[in-house]
Structure 1
Amino acid sequence: MAEDESPDTVAFRLWPPVAVGAPLLVGWLVTLLWDDPVELGDWRVPVGWALVLVFVVWNGWSLWLFHRHETGLLPGQATQAMIEEGPYRFSRNPLYVGMLALYLGLALLAPSFWALVLFPVAVLLVRWGAIRPEEAFLRERFGASYDDYTRRVRRWL
């Protein structure tokens, strides 16, 4: 462990907003430079806004629970509690699920076919850069309680 790392915090390989935002930005830039080979159609607007709304409600609920349990959210803030209620009953990673819903919503609203094509890259980057280190940290920090939680609740949905 590096000197500046605390045993109470997750050491991400890649900060989650970067893991999600980088492929989205690349997709938008490719669309701007070379245009999209496929017209997404008018359906994309209501679906895009619905996904943005899902992000706001779902992540707002998740963040409220972090506050209520007085546990750290941002890198460098200590993890004091394992949350198992609200969206955490359905997903071990509701904030990442919400961020990925936002990604899809923004890609549809832009519109950017290339951002949609790069969506799996965002999923893989979140899994590698954030979820894997976070799961190892939580397993070490909470032990059997976390193992029980992983048996009851899926990683995504």
Structure 2
Amino acid sequence: MRTRQAIAGSALFFIAAPGMVAGLLPWLLTDRYRLPWSTQPGLVPVAWVLIVVAAALLLHAFARFAFEGLGTPAPVAPTGQLVVGGIYRHVRNPMYVAVLSIILGQALLFSSWALVAYATIAAIAMVSFVKFYEEPTLARRYGAGYEAYRRAVPGWLPRLTPWRCQ
């Protein structure tokens, strides 16, 4: 897949997947006509930092797929090589971590227990998808390289020091 196609495919998948999961669905689960300010004013800056930082990391992770992997995060148009640079040196599943962080930031911003419940359901779905589909698929596709990466880089809680490829 060429770089332009990878960028276009990643952009479309960005709108279709995280755009729906961390954008449209949380919006539908909240009182959309109320200003999104927490009943705890001290949480508003925390919520915004969580949302903005997670969104930046999500965009970075998508860009890595297009530029480093020359593919997309979508299973129908996978990367040609294992993506292990940038944020992927700290955590194996940065897109899922970022999406969940965005949802939890919105839960804080809107003081919404519905979004906390939604984040919990989304987390269960994401962990299950990774465990039963992504990891076996990546192990088959990339073999020993993926297994070494999987042993060195945690899936969900980022390591502080970046992993160095051998």
Q: TM-score with structure 2 length normalisation?
A: 0.69
Q: CA deviation at 1:91?
A: 0.7
Q: CA deviation at 1:86?
A: 0.9
The residue that corresponds to 1:55 in the other structure is 54
Deviations 1:30-56 (A, max 9, x none): xx5xxxxxx851122111111111122
Helix, strand or coil: the match of 1:41?
A: coil
The residue that corresponds to 1:46 in the other structure is 45
| Distance in 2 (alpha carbons) for counterparts of 1:149 and 1:140 | 14
The residue that corresponds to 1:83 in the other structure is 83
Q: Is the 8 A contact 1:49 1:105 kept in 2?
A: yes
Q: CA deviation at 1:83?
A: 1.2
| Distance in 1 (alpha carbons) for counterparts of 2:130 and 2:151 | 20
The residue that corresponds to 2:64 in the other structure is 65
Q: Is the 8 A contact 2:26 2:103 kept in 1?
A: yes
**Range 66-75 or range 145-154, more displaced:** 66-75
Report the residue type matching 2:128 in the other structure. W
The residue that corresponds to 2:74 in the other structure is 74
Counterpart check, 1:133 vs 2:148:
no
| Distance in 1 (alpha carbons) for counterparts of 2:43 and 2:110 | 9
Q: Is the 8 A contact 1:51 1:105 kept in 2?
A: yes
RMSD: 2.6
Seen in structure 2, the aligned counterparts of structure 1 residues 90 and 132 have a Cα distance that, compared at 3 Å, is: farther
| Distance in 2 (alpha carbons) for counterparts of 1:135 and 1:124 | 15
Question: What percentage of aligned pairs have identical amino acids?
Answer: 29
Seen in structure 2, the aligned counterparts of structure 1 residues 153 and 111 have a Cα distance that, compared at 3 Å, is: same
Gaps of 5+ in 2: 1-15, 32-37, 158-166
Seen in structure 2, the aligned counterparts of structure 1 residues 131 and 58 have a Cα distance that, compared at 3 Å, is: farther
The residue that corresponds to 2:121 in the other structure is 121
Deviations 1:120-153 (A, max 9, x none): 2221111113453111100010111111001100
Report the residue type matching 1:129 in the other structure. F
Higher relative contact order (CA 8 A, sep 6+): 1
